[in-house]
């Protein structure tokens, strides 16, 4: 897999560091799945998606550089690592909703959307953990 050096730098990580990344993503998924407010579900689901991407990128020997557009790249690489274009599509939709909320005065997250995003990211986490355990 090709890692764009503008967004990723080679760096070795220990298995313990990978576990910490996944544990952090697991905590966020748990919060997303148990939260009662859709906005909280969404925020923690999005954060978990990014953390899952960071964990799998680390498992491939790269560290994410904090650059403008790095979330787009994380989502893209996560999608390619797990070989699932739906991750890129849903992740980008989530990223755009997050940006609307942060930079354009907000966007309404419905209860159905909050639950859908939380369930989606929980499935991505399961796939990522399975892949990582095989790694």
Q: What does the pLDDT read at residue 98?
A: 87
Return the bridge partners of 64, or none: 8
Query: What is the band of 135 on the pLDDT scale with cuts at 50, 70, 90?
Result: low
C-alpha to C-alpha distance for 31 and 27, rounded to whole angstroms: 6
Query: What is the band of 134 on the pLDDT scale with cuts at 50, 70, 90?
Result: confident
Nearest alpha-carbon partner for 94 in 75, 81, 78, 79? 75
pLDDT, tens only, 79-132:
999 999 999 999 999 998 887 777 777 778 899 999 999 999 999 999 999 988
Rg (the chain; Cα; Å)? 14
Task: Give me the helices (H) in the chain, please.
Answer: 15-34, 38-59, 70-81, 85-103, 111-134
> Residues 28-38: what's their mean pLDDT?
97
Return the bridge partners of 63, or none: 9
């Amino acid at each position: 897999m090709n890692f764009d050096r503008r967004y990723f730098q080679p760096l070795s990580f220990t298995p313990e560091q990978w576990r910490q990344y996944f544990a952090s993503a697991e905590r966020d998924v748990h919060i997303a799945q148990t939260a009662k407010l859709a906005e909280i579900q969404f925020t923690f689901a999005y954060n978990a998606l990014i953390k899952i991407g960071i964990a799998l990128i680390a498992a491939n020997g790269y560290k994410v550089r904090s650059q403008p557009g790095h979330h787009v790249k994380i989502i893209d690489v996560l999608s390619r690592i797990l070989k699932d274009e739906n991750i890129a599509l849903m992740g980008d939709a989530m990223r755009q909703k997050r940006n609307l909320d942060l930079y354009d005065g907000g966007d309404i997250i419905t209860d159905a959307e909050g639950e859908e995003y939380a369930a989606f990211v929980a499935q991505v986490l399961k796939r990522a953990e399975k892949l990582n355990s095989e790694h």
